[in-house]
Amino acid sequence: MNKFDVKDLNLYYGENHALKGINLPIPERKVTALIGPSGCGKSTLLRTLNRMNDLIENVKITGNVSLDGNDIYQERNVGGLRMKVGMVFQKPNPFPMSIYENVAYGLRAQGIRDKKVIDEAVENALRGAALWDEVSDRLDGHAFGLSGGQQQRLCIARAIAIQPEVILMDEPTSALDPIATHKIEELMEELRKDYTIVIVTHSMNQAKRISDKTAVFWMGELVEHGETAQIFNSPQDERTKGYVNGDFG
Amino acid sequence: MSDVVTVNHAPTAKQSGQVVKALEASANRVDWANHLFKYLFMLSAFIGVFSVGLIGYFLIKEGMPALSYAGVTNFVFGMEWVPPVLFGIAPMIVASLISALGAVVIGVPVALLTAIFLAEVAPKRVADVVRPAVELLAGIPSVVYGFFGLVIIVPMVEKVFNIPAGNTLMAAIIVLAVMILPTVIAISETALRAVPRSYKEGSLALGASPMFTIFKVLLPAARSGILAGVVLGIARAIGETMAIIMVMGNSPAMPRHLLDSARSLTANIAMEMAYATGLHSSALYTTGIVLLVFVMVLNATLLYLNREKAR
């Protein structure tokens, strides 16, 4: 069962043809890794999945991206789409407010005021992001007081607090040290049971460790995609071969 | 990187003899220009500080006689201005504060919404028209604002409130509200634009609407910058002279309501300086001291806000 279906997707930043005829199915409740050298379009593709590219001026998109069979670019309620498709960014970006308010933010944005409901959602989300035990005694503390890895897990908690179906992760561990990275990867092992995860990563080892499917990008093109083991063990394309062997990139 | 770089020639770390010579000569030269400029910068900075010191000194020196004649309490809290006998400037302090605060109450909401419009809502092409127009507002001489107030606002106040003379606190508040717009807008817009993009992205990615994002994340994050803009706006309003003289009526009596004529501290100085002598003249300098104290308090507030921002 495919969660997303990307069909003949082209994306232009002004004159720059950033994504060229992408066709990619993204299966439900699996981890799909997008890999490739810098500037190859993998983050751009990720941001088409929750329409974050809408924020950039002069972006033109052709083709279509469907979520559960519905074209998301025909969708009028972009906020609703983004509730279903959560996102975690490269650099942890908690809001300048308390830990509690960070997690409650998405609920408050939907007009939910009932304190009991929010309390429960906050606790569940923090437990889900494996952060509850570390912060339960200081929920009112400022989010900036947390370490980088904790901040990133807070951002994951913030995302899962509103019950998304998909979590997009844009190099979620590239700003973190190895131990914090390990914790996030452990967390992803849990999250994969409930969510469809799409992750952009620069680390081929990370892609190997955590993903079921891998898609390799090269200068705006999707070179190859398939089972992660197959991509790494018997790549079909010369460029994939060179990239996964670490010859360049 | 994505492209394979082909190297055509072997890179070399050795420079030619000429280059080496030039570098050595430069290393041994005393750089007079550098020293010269260092002192030039210092001198320039000193001129500003020196001016402030000098102005403060003269205000105090010239204002002292009237202050010691009347006493601080009688001066600041005195209700009667009858030079050269009574030097009470309480009515003017009240007029200055009320007109500035009134201008803030009307002007700041408009300015803030404009800043949000420019920073977040307006398409680039619209913002590129609105922003220079607002900046132009800052360049209009205050006498022109006064003229505008006299011809448009004063008659309007007369008509709307059905009073014989429209030269009132109300008219001054409206004119000042327009005058502080460019200051508050420019600084608030800068503050809003300085909010990290990641906050906005994080909020929108959670499905929050653009309006929720603006009010719950962007405005709070830009708060101290916006407050700094408001403080500068107040300073501008308190210091304004010409436009106020033209629209506020300038009666030295304590205003009882917003539709009364009133005289600001600045107007008091500007209107009487030409013919005042002796103690009367000294009392005008003292008025200047009071004004300076207000501005210093505002600047201290600004410093405090900026420190909070830096933290």
For A154-188, what is each residue's pLDDT tens digit? 999 999 999 999 999 999 999 899 999 999 999 99
What residues form DSSP beta bridges with A214?
A33, A226
Distance of residue B304 Cα from the nearest chain A Cα, in angstroms: 20
Instruction: Write out the two tokens for B174.
Output: 């409206």
ipTM over 0.85: yes
Of A83, A89, A105, the CB nearest to B198: A89
Instruction: Look at A105 and B203 and tell me if their CB atoms are within 8 Å.
Output: yes
Q: Would you list the domain boundaries of chain B?
A: 76-310
Q: Nearest 5 degrees, angle CA B137-CA B138-CA B140?
A: 70
> Across the interface, do A96 and B220 touch by the CB < 8 Å criterion?
yes
* Per-residue pLDDT at B213 exceeds 50: yes
Give the whole-number percent of chain B exceeding pLDDT 90: 83
Residue B128 in contact with partner chain A when CB distance is under 8 A: no
Instruction: Show the tokens assigned to B274.
Output: 């030409």
pLDDT of A161 reads 95
Would you state the pLDDT for residue B308? 63
pLDDT at position B14 over 80: no
* Mean pLDDT value across residues A202-217: 93
Task: Give the model confidence (pLDDT) of B60-88 as tens digits.
Answer: 999 999 999 999 999 999 999 998 889 99
> B78: buried, middle or exposed (CB in 10 Å: 19+, 13-18, 0-12)?
middle
Please check whether residue B71 touches A, CB under 8 A: no
What's the fold here for domain B76-310?
A: MetI-like fold (1.10.3720)
What's the Cα-to-Cα distance from A49 to each of A198, A220, B35, B60, B265, rounded to whole Å?
A: 10, 16, 58, 68, 61
pTM value surpassing 0.90: no
pLDDT of residue A122: 96
Q: pLDDT class for A151, splitting at 50, 70, 90?
A: very high
Is the pLDDT at B89 greater than 50? The verdict is yes
Q: What is the model's pLDDT at position B8? A: 55
Over residues A7-60, the pLDDT tens digits come to 999 999 999 999 999 999 999 999 999 999 888 999 999 999 999 998 888 899
Of the pLDDT bands very low, low, confident and very high (cuts 50, 70, 90), residue B1 is very low
Contact A224, A52 (CB under 8 A): no
Across the interface, of A55, A93, A162, the residue whose CB is closest to B207 is A162
Provide the pLDDT confidence category of residue B2 given band limits of 50, 70 and 90.
very low
Contact A38 B208 (CB under 8 A): no
Residue in A52, A96, A106 nearest the CB of B221: A96
Q: Is the CB of residue B203 less than 8 Å away from at least one CB of chain A?
A: yes
Domain boundaries along the sequence of chain A: 2-244
Q: H helices of chain B, where?
A: 17-28, 32-70, 72-77, 90-116, 124-139, 142-148, 154-161, 169-193, 197-205, 210-213, 219-221, 223-239, 242-247, 265-272, 278-310
Q: Tens digit of pLDDT for each residue in A69-127? A: 999 998 889 999 999 999 999 999 999 999 999 999 999 999 999 999 999 999 999 99
Check: CB of residue A71 under 8 Å from CB of residue B179: no
DSSP summary character for residue B215: I
If you average pLDDT over residues B119-133, what whole number do you get?
93
Taking only the tens place, the pLDDT of each residue in A226-239 is 999 999 998 888 88
Report chain A residues whose CB lies below 8 A from the CB of B207. 79-83, 106, 109-110, 162
Average pLDDT across chain B, whole number:
91
pLDDT score recorded for residue B21: 86
Q: Do A109 and B2 touch (CB under 8 A)?
A: no
Residue of B203, B206, B223 to mutate, interface with A, max A Cβ within 10 Å: B206
Closest CA to A169 of A129, A224, A133: A129
- Are the CB atoms for A16 and A46 separated by under 8 Å? no
User: Chain A contact for B191, CB < 8 A?
Assistant: no
Q: Residue B288 pLDDT > 50, yes or no? A: yes
CA-CA distance, A176 to A180, in Å (whole number)?
A: 6
For domain A2-244, give the CATH superfamily.
P-loop containing nucleotide triphosphate hydrolases (3.40.50.300)
Interface of A with B in 25-44 (CB under 8 A): 37-40
- Which of these ranges, A188-202, A231-245, B110-124, has the smallest mean pLDDT? A231-245
Q: Tell me if chain A has a CB within 8 Å of the CB of B122.
A: no
The verdict on A52 touching B (C-beta cutoff 8 Å) is: yes
Amino acid B18: pLDDT: 86
Pairing label, strands A2-13, A59-67: antiparallel
Residue B274 above 80 pLDDT?
yes
- Contact check, Cβ <8 Å, B124/A93: no
Q: Which of A37, A158, A218 sits opposite B206 (nearest CB)?
A: A158
Q: Do B206 and A105 touch (CB under 8 A)?
A: yes
For B71, residues 6+ apart whose C-beta sits below 8 A from its C-beta are: none
Least confident of B82-86, B233-237, B249-253: B82-86
Distance CA B54, CA B275 (A): 24
pLDDT-based confidence at B9, cuts 50/70/90? low
